[in-house]
Structure 1
Amino acid sequence: MRSDRLYLVDIIEATDAITAFISDVDTEGFLNNDLVRSAVLHKLTIIGEAAARVSMPLRARFPETPWSDIVGFRNIAVHAYFSVDWQIVWQTASSDTPQLREQVVRILQTTFPDP
């Protein structure tokens, strides 16, 4: 079984990838680029899967992180992909993902400090 630390690292790596994917893209460019949309959505599903696997005790220690919303987003993206709202995906990628990264970095620093 993987550790919480590794799932948190997965989240950070996925947020970094999303940032790279959209670094030179505005809303219109995102909405008109299937490759970028697909890549971002894939990384968001990775974030959701990793968040779902973070232990409940750790999630409870950091309730400011919207764990349930993250997992719920993943479930919609995977199971109801035909109804994905790309404006919401853009908002999530461009605004929510950087905030999530900051939260997860703090969790890692607090919970798994370097020796």
Structure 2
Amino acid sequence: MLKHDLVRVKHMRDGAEEIQKFIQGKTKNDLEHDRMLSLAIVQLLEIIGEAANKVTPEFCAKYTQIPWKSVVGMRNRLIHGYFDIDLNIVWKTVVDEIPSLNKALTEIIKTEEFADGETAE
């Protein structure tokens, strides 16, 4: 594993954790009417996707539980379709997908740090 793969996965995990904090106690209606919340969530999804795009193919092949292409695809859609973001899809993603993504990323970090003899952050 290249060191930068783990750094990128940590960036992804950090973004996922932030999203979960931001939406705690919120509804889809909040996302639709709170511009700051929607901009923050979209930016974090873009960061997660950009970090995923920088992970090496070898690392992606090792951890197939992460839908790497879908994560990058979401980033691309948000970046290039910024004028037409569907907040229903964003909400569904953060509620249905981000918790399991966060859990899987945390497990990958623990596995990789254990293999390298590091301490988990």
Instruction: Specify the TM-score bucket, using the shorter chain as the normaliser.
Output: over 0.9
Structure 2 equivalent of residue 105 of structure 1: 106
Residue 24 of structure 1: CA displacement?
2.2
Listed as ranges, the matches of 1:1-115 within 5 Å are 3-113=4-114, 114-115=117-118
What is the number of equivalent residue pairs in this alignment? 115
Structure 2 segments unaligned to the other structure (5+ residues): none
**CA distance, structure 2, for counterparts of residue 2 and residue 64 of structure 1:** 20
**CA distance, structure 1, for counterparts of residue 112 and residue 10 of structure 2:** 13
Structure 1 segments unaligned to the other structure (5+ residues): none
Residue 94 of structure 1: CA displacement?
1.6
**CA distance, structure 2, for counterparts of residue 102 and residue 18 of structure 1:** 13
Residue 111 of structure 1: CA displacement?
2.2
What TM-score do you get using the length of structure 2 for normalisation? 0.88
Identity of aligned residues (%): 28
Residue 2 of structure 1: CA displacement?
6.4
**CA distance, structure 1, for counterparts of residue 72 and residue 36 of structure 2:** 23
CA-based RMSD: 1.5
Q: Which runs of 4+ in 1 moved over 2 A?
A: none
What TM-score do you get using the length of structure 1 for normalisation? 0.93
